[in-house]
Chains A and B, each alone.
Chain A
Amino acid sequence: MISGFAVGFAEVLQFSTLVLMVAGVIAGVIAAAIPGFTITMAIVLTLPLTFHMAPTQGIATMLAVYVGGLTGGMISAALLGIPGTPSAVATTFDAFPMARKGEPGRALGLGIWASFFGTLVSIFILVLAAPPLARVALQLGPWEYFSLIVFALTIIAGMVGRSMLRGLIAGLIGVLLATVGSDPMMGVQRFSFDLRMLAAGLPFLAVLIGVYAVSQLLSEVEDTRRIRSGAALISGRIVFRPIACMMETLRQPVNLIRSSLVGVFIGAVPGAGGSIANLMAYDQARNASKTPERFGTGISEGVVASESGNSSTAGGGLIPMIALGIPGSAVDAVLIAALMVHGISVGPRLTIDNPELVYSIFVAMLIAAVMMLVICLATMKLFLKVTDIPKNIIVPVVLALCVVGVFALNNRLTDVYILFFIGGLGYLMKKMDYPLAPLVLGVILSPIAETNLRRALMTNDDWTLFLTRPISAIFLALAAVSVVLILRRRRLQS
């Protein structure tokens, strides 16, 4: 292993590779900070640029974009309350209130350090446990997937806020929104009413940006007097203390490691990814906390859980890719495509035929994480200037960026119209005191739940298989325990 790492370091520590990786990290951070511009889009745009590079150099550059992107989504989530990427949704729960309380520097600092440590934990597990973890992830059939999603859906019960009923309604509205368009199994059109704009379904990013960004920006203009006086997003002096933030992050080792492990596991499950990992890590941190009622008010535990949870999916996603040739996420699929362009087939033989490449991937991840840390800490003061910009400037500019982000997704103007309606719905629900996070979670989980439920019953219409298959039964038991714990906690609080 040591000689493998030595080869990996020799491959990656080339001047030209390091320069490309720095550019990749910066591009990833900036791209992910723009609402609607996903990490996958940034990686896809990077792919053609890597064709003329050596395989190690190309993969290292793409991994740098990936690691940078996982952190960049946190910037707009913390400063504007708008998740830059789907994997930063839970970051808005505590980082945004923290920033609004006059501590945007602390919110970003905690997020950066948590992302860094989360990535380190995931690399450690990737190196040690790739083959056995990948084998577990491969055991998941449709029954297990469905049960995993049922477990994930119990998170809704934990993020409902004051009213369980409102949270459940919001979550199910999300589930319903995801059923618009083609039915995932037979291709039957549902709720599209012969409208072309609905035929392809509601793009998840249009829903995410509409629900979070548009409704948040509309809320910003509610106070006519303040906005006309040129008020900035956050008033008061902004302080940024990176070392204090590092110490604060390290003072939560259990939270940090638990959230990272959740991220690694979810990342290793094909099709799940950072958008679910950050919510699950946040929920587990709240369930384990002695003061769960403080979550959502701007506490450091929430920021650390969410950011370490989503960043550790990077290493987790590479586990099935390296061990079995199965992509853990869309980004990993693009990485596989990049390797195939260079004539390298990904699969169980990758570690045998190209060990130097595998070790180079481990090393590139590590170096990208360090680069991300240095670059983010060095440039964060620049990002913090966003909070000084008056609302009357930031609202129109960010609304225009939302439109660009949604359009760029599929080059379709109709997606932009969907953004308008979803934005209106999001604002209305916010005014009516409905929590928005369950809605987003519902949209993420609905297609996976429906597809796997129907696939399982197509294979065998015996419903008891959900309870008799061991891994499926474990997930369902975990779901039941989770609901009982949440109900008990709510009763104790009331």
Chain B
Amino acid sequence: MLQVLFNLALLVAFLLLFRVAADLPSSRWEPLGAGSFPQLVLAVLMVLNLVMIAINLRAAGAELRRHGPNMGRIVWDSLQSSGLVIVTFVLFGLYMLSIRQLGFVAATFLFVLVLQLLLGRRTLRGVALALVIAGVTAFGVDYIFATYFRVFLPPGQLWI
């Protein structure tokens, strides 16, 4: 079922992108314009996705008949089992967004610390170790990149 939904979502996306590619200007200087190559790729992708949907549709139908009323529960259970993955991914996104404001050092320190505590054991020793590792990662990487590689990581707009 999920496979069919995934391929359907891809199909819709490819269709929309195909229309965007069709509107790209052609060139007087060459037989193929800017949109030709992506259009060719998207057309093949749409055909392959349709074949994929056709193959998986029967299995999805059988699954729906077998689990019909319990489908909501099955989806909820699978989301729950992926809870830690989702939380990690969301934290990763928040970390990236916070770099501009907080700067690399502060954002990395918080991200590494919070994620370690979330994933590991929250004993006194565990928290102390997490603090050390977060500090070494944040300050150490910033120092090494600035000193030896001349790469200056974002300082953070809040502190300027």
Contact = CB atoms under 8 A, between A and B. Distances in A.
Nearest to A214: B92
Given A230-B120, A392-B116, A432-B6, A416 B96 contact: yes
B159 interface: no
A190 interface: yes
Given A190-B35, A400-B137, A176 B41 contact: yes
Interface string B113-134: 0011001110000000110010
Contacts of B153: 404, 407
Interface string B6-23: 100010000001001100
Given A45-B149, A191-B20, A399 B92 contact: yes
**Size category, B interface:** 35 or more
A168 interface: yes
A202 to B, nearest CB: 13
Contact of A393 (B2, B17, B51, B133): B133
A4 interface: no
A45 B151 CA distance: 10
Contact of A227 (B42, B51, B84): B84
The residue in A190, A219, A391 that gathers the most chain B C-beta atoms within 10 A of its C-beta is A190
Interface in A163-189: 165-166, 168-169, 172-173, 175-176, 179, 183, 185-186, 188
Given A185-B30, A221-B88, A408 B151 contact: yes
A292 interface: no
Contacts of B85: 218-219, 221-222, 427
A400 B111 contact: yes
Interface in B84-113: 84-85, 88-89, 92-93, 95-96, 99-100, 104, 108, 111-112
B116 A190 contact: no
B57 interface: no
Contact of A458 (B29, B108, B138, B149): B29
- Say whether chain A's binding surface is mostly helix, strand, loop, or mixed: helix
A173 B45 CA distance: 8
Contacts of A224: 83-84
A392 B150 CA distance: 30
B141 A404 contact: yes
Nearest to B114: A396
Interface string B63-82: 00000000000000000011
A432 B3 contact: yes
A395 interface: yes
A401 B49 CA distance: 35
B157 to A, nearest CB: 11
Residue among A214, A393, A424 with the most chain B CB within 10 A? A393
Contacts of B108: 400, 403
Contact of B41 (A179, A230, A392, A397): A179
A450 B41 CA distance: 11
Contact of A413 (B31, B41, B120, B154): B154
Contacts of A404: 104, 141, 145, 153
Contacts of B62: none
B38 A413 contact: no
Interface in A223-267: 224, 227-228, 230
A454 interface: yes
A230 B117 CA distance: 11
A347 interface: no
Contacts of B3: 432
Interface in A398-419: 399-401, 403-404, 407-408, 411, 413, 416-417, 419
Interface string A179-215: 1000101101011000000000000000000000010
A450 B37 contact: yes
A218 B89 contact: yes
Nearest to A417: B96
A119 to B, nearest CB: 25
Nearest to A409: B151
Interface of A: 45, 165-166, 168-169, 172-173, 175-176, 179, 183, 185-186, 188, 190-191, 214, 217-219, 221-222, 224, 227-228, 230, 390-393, 395-397, 399-401, 403-404, 407-408, 411, 413, 416-417, 419-420, 423-424, 427-428, 432, 450, 453-454, 457-458, 461
9 contacts: A191-B17, A214-B92, A218-B85, A221-B119, A222-B85, A230-B121, A390-B120, A432-B6, A454-B30
Given A403-B96, A419-B96, 5 more contacts: A185-B27, A190-B35, A221-B84, A404-B153, A413-B154
